[in-house]
Amino acid sequence: MRSLLPGTKLRRSLALAVRSLWLRKLRAALSVLGIVIGTSAVIALMAFGKGSMQDALNDIKKQGTNIIVRSVKPSDDSSTSSRAFVAAYGLKQSDLERFSTFGDSISRVVPMRVFASEVRYLERMYNGRLVGTTAEYADVNNLVLARGRFLTDEDDRNLSNTCVLGAGVADKLFPFEDPVGKSVQLRGHRFLVVGVTADRTPTGGTGGSQAVEDFNGDIYIPFNTCRARVGETVLIRSAGSRSGERVQLSQVVLTIDADFETSEGRQKVKALGEAVKQMLREDHPKDDWAVTVPLDRLEDAEIQQERFTRLLVLIASISLFVGGIGIMNIMLATVTERTREVGIRRALGAKRKDIVMQFLVEAVVQTTVGGLAGVVVGLATVFGVPPLWKLVTGANLPAVLSYWSILLSVGVSVLVGVVFGLYPAWRAARLDPIEALRHT
Amino acid sequence: MPALVRVVDLVKDYHMGDVTVNVLKGLTLSFEEGDFVALMGPSGSGKSTLMNILGCLDRPTRGHYYLRNRDVSGMTDDELSEVRSGYLGFIFQAYNLLPQYTVVENIELPLVYQGIPLDATTKARCVALAEMVGLGERLDHRPLQLSGGQQQRVAIARSLVNDPQLILADEPTGNLDSRTSVEIMQMLTGLNRAGKTIIMVTHENDIAEWARRVIRLRDGRVESDVRNDTKALAEVG
């Protein structure tokens, strides 16, 4: 038995609403099912959506404030390539020096020369990708080493024949032994292996000019060593034909000293990107370069995430809307069924607004309880499904719970109760007391 | 004695499509404070319509209804609700208790709509009323656990909780057997003796005999208006 001792009017009407609903438990439960599903859908969909987008964003964020300048073989280079089969194009050493004139904003300049090359150890051979670069490459690419060390500035200065192997290369050439300390053959030179990188996941083809890259087949050597030993012309054999390329620099990564989480930082990175393009436009009439600002992709991805989130919210709102219609339907039935009760209450002095409040509170109590139940179901889904998913499919299902989605969905549930409860409540209040009392 | 209730030239028309039905055709009546009136008449005589107007559940088409000199015939819906909750008590043929509430909660209900906060005092009052009608042992029962007579007694207790000036009883014994009817009528008589004004609709002569005054309606007019002298005499004696 409930005590009727001190209590506010609201608390009492809540208690009475709960009691009235309790009389028809199953019906109340079924009628809020739509709200439960809608709310849990909002929470779960937003968490999974955000989780998967976050993964993609993190990939890009690693590139944060970099500007990537690459050499591109000009497509309409018919006049030169027909005569000279060695194609000369791309970024030059002089460009590299000019990048440093951009001042303090550029905190790092990491040049790279990249070409296909075979690497041997004893009788074993691997067709890998030779990358001549500097020590900072490791920082720019968040490189993790499995063994040994990465190249140092000293290696570069001394033109030393040291190299770091990608995980795939190390696997192929040294299936049984530790590669560090061994010497491998590269283009007729012996290189001492000083480190092995950890397994690197290939970058996803997130679109734009950055294609899928598999780093596990890389062999890193000091940049200056590369220039000294390999020279500027690289011979490529493919399908019986030969061609040569004279490329001084395949790629330069510029790291800007800015915080890409702030809009000023982003402006700065973009402005420098434009400046670099402007500079290259002047010096390279052949159009043999490309500038990629990962930040642009970050922004694209963010816009995409926002759009995605909006879509999810829309879908979830539809389910909440449908849930609301369910509530309205049941409330209309309830009002009809309780017509006599309305008559009794009116006879005992209830005003129209009292009747409106009574039914409105019942509707809101239902949708609120439904919303809270939906939160529970949603949280259970967000925390319970990923481990199961991993168990069954072996794949990760990233989920990032956003707390505002909980507030939002509960808030909307309450609102749905008000909106869809209003009409039935109004209908109840409009009943003629005499007719209502006569109702059986 | 001043008239508690006065109706003057009361007319009520119902429009049913194109047809207008005159239910009350200019009734003029007055009921004194402390009276116990039985309204009788065949169906269609207008007694239910009169009761609805007296109960402020309906408004007359023309004419006036004075409740303690206040003209309630022109009041708004909200004002009528206030009059009902402040001055009137209802007893129905079908008891009309709310099934989801206990005995005490049913008795409390009119207080809720008077805006009186429910506390220990109001609860004590409701319990006292329940005891008065002989249901002190069943405070926490629900209506469906009670017999018809017990339910009607709860309804009587409920009609008293706001200390009304006028109790309107619409065939209060219509659903009860004769023995229980007598119990209920004794209870109403007791209330009347204690000063409550009661207007009761009935179509049974033996029930009407409990009243001090019997008014018969026919076709929306007063057919007879008789003081029940034996009743008055019995009281004097």
- Within 10 angstroms of residue B180's Cβ, the number of other Cβ atoms is 17
| pLDDT per residue as tens digits for the range A177-186 | 889 999 998 8
What are B63's two structure tokens?
Answer: 């004419």
* Contact residues on chain A for B82, CB-CB shorter than 8 A: 349, 351
B113 with A9: Cβ contact below 8 A = no
* Contact residues on chain A for B113, CB-CB shorter than 8 A: 345, 348-351, 354
Nearest to B100 among A4, A5, A23 (CB): A23
Nearest to B84 among A6, A19, A347 (CB): A347
| pLDDT per residue as tens digits for the range A115-143 | 888 888 888 888 888 889 998 888 887 78
The 3 state secondary structure assigned to chain A is CCCCCCCCHHHHHHHHHHHHHHCCHHHHHHHHHHHHHHHHHHHHHHHHHHHHHHHHHHHHHCCCCEEEEEECCCCCCHHHHHHCCEEECCECHHHHHHHHHHHHHEEEEEEEEEEEEEEEECCEEEEEEEEEECCCHHHHCCCCEEEECCCCHHHHHCCCCEEEECHHHHHHHCCCCCCCCCEEEECCEEEEEEEEECCCCCECCCCCCCCCECHHHEEEEEHHHHHHHHCCEEEEEECCEEEEEECCECEEEEEECCCCCCHHHHHHHHHHHHHHHHHHHHHCCCCCEEEECHHHHHHHHHHHHHHHHHHHHHHHHHHHHHHHHHHHHHHHHHHHHCHHHHHHHHHCCCCHHHHHHHHHHHHHHHHHHHHHHHHHHHHHHHHHHHHHHHHHHCCCCCCCCCHHHHHHHHHHHHHHHHHHHHHHHHHHHHCCHHHHHHCC
- Is residue A108 within 8 A of residue A141, CB to CB? The reply is no
pTM, entire model: 0.71
Return the domain boundaries, chain B.
3-236
What ipTM was predicted for this assembly?
0.93
pLDDT value for A281: 85
State chain B's mean pLDDT as an integer: 91
Rounded Cα gap, residues A233 and A228, in angstroms: 11
Rounded Cα gap, residues A169 and A279, in angstroms: 38
Model confidence band, residue A285 (pLDDT cutoffs 50, 70, 90):
confident
| pLDDT per residue as tens digits for the range A340-395 | 999 999 999 999 999 999 999 999 999 999 999 999 999 999 999 888 888 888 77
Judged against a pLDDT cut of 70, whether residue A292 lies above it is answered with yes
> What is the chain B residue with the closest CA to A346?
B81
Q: How far is B210 from chain A (nearest CA, A)?
A: 25
Nearest to A344 among B81, B96, B123 (CB): B96
A1 with B99: Cβ contact below 8 A = no
Q: How far is A337 from chain B (nearest CA, A)?
A: 13
Cβ–Cβ contact B117 with A under 8 A: yes
Q: Tell me which of B75, B77, B81, B125 to substitute to probe the interface with A (most A C-beta atoms closer than 10 Å).
A: B81
CATH fold label, B3-236:
Rossmann fold (3.40.50)
Nearest to B85 among A4, A348, A434 (CB): A348
- Is residue A153 within 8 A of residue A108, CB to CB? The reply is no
B114 with A349: Cβ contact below 8 A = yes
| pLDDT per residue as tens digits for the range A73-106 | 776 555 554 445 667 777 888 888 887 777 677 8
Judged against a pLDDT cut of 80, whether residue A236 lies above it is answered with no
